[in-house]
Chains A and B, each alone.
Chain A
């Protein structure tokens, strides 16, 4: 399965769902395919899942999608028991697992290239719907269910290690711009001020 194919299919399906991305090629590819104000590009490893939890708890009426990588989830495995026990029904986590630290440029294998099974860790942490998909059609089914159904989902997407994202022109949009765009969008659509502080 190719990550870009997953995103190319998913991007047109999205409406007002929040998307939080971390720092691997998925950030570049999703940012290339989706220009929505509801996309929050964090630009750091090990944070997207937790930030997504916070958003899901703060906005329980909105769906929150989190796009993670194997390296990023391995960096913050303590998120999984916390996520399981909080069990936000409006959250779907998709871990694009290429079994490598691809950004190192030496394709260094991650633990998931060895014996580690992230979906099993998630299930062991208490997340009931934690599955692994290896085919695009299975990804589409999980993503469709995430769009249309309630309930926490943790989907490990086994993908090929690709380098196509390196050919995509990188965005010049700074993280602060992304943050303000996202927050102003939420203020507008939620009808409430978020950033306080008198001017």
Chain B
């Protein structure tokens, strides 16, 4: 991902009021991590599994933080139990920042990723998680704010799936 786009995403998260992020570095969006770490308004929590990333974020949300959990698309599969049992069942607002690996517009798509991409949206829909696909930086701040408003209104996890320009 180009540095300018990474900066735009971090600025958008900041503007939306996100202040607590669990993360497991991955292959598409990881340029945001040093930017997030250098901004003291974000409490950054590295995890070893997306499953605990979701549950730790949920705890922080119940404690008053505006939370996001950043993961690769594969992390949705890893954490679907946590998304369901804590996020959905308990009704906890959280933003899932997901790199949409293996999607049509994934510029680094290959036989390694494609199956993970084709099943991702059915997985989210099975979990009843609302989502939006984001392809470029156009209107990024507004889209992230919309997602945060959506998660707070629903009191459920909401996912943003990043592809195309975010996968270069």
Contacts and interface: CB of A to CB of B under 8 A. Distances in A.
Interface of A: 20, 40, 42, 44, 46-47, 50-59, 76, 78-79, 81-82, 85-86, 175-176, 179, 182-183, 186-187, 190, 192-197
Given A44-B85, A176-B90, A50 B63 contact: no
A195 B63 CA distance: 10
Contacts of B62: 40, 51, 54-55, 58, 179, 182-183, 186, 194
A42 B47 contact: no
Contacts of A183: 62
A59 B62 CA distance: 10
Contacts of B81: 46
A51 B85 contact: no
B63 A54 contact: yes
Given A54-B55, A54-B56, A58-B59, 18 more contacts: A47-B58, A47-B85, A50-B55, A51-B62, A53-B45, A54-B57, A54-B63, A55-B60, A55-B62, A58-B43, A58-B62, A82-B46, A85-B46, A179-B90, A186-B62, A186-B63, A186-B64, A194-B63
A44 B64 contact: no
Nearest to B154: A197
A51 B152 contact: no
Candidate in A40, A86, A190, A194 with the most chain B CB atoms within 10 angstroms: A194
Interface string B33-72: 0000000000101111101100111111111111100000
A196 B62 CA distance: 11
Tell me if B's interface is mostly helix, strand, loop or mixed: helix
Given A51-B56, A78-B51, A59 B86 contact: no
Candidate in B55, B63, B89, B155 with the most chain A CB atoms within 10 angstroms: B63
A182 to B, nearest CB: 7
B86 A42 contact: yes
A57 B56 contact: yes
Contacts of B51: 46, 50, 76, 78
Contact of B49 (A78, A85, A86, A192): A78
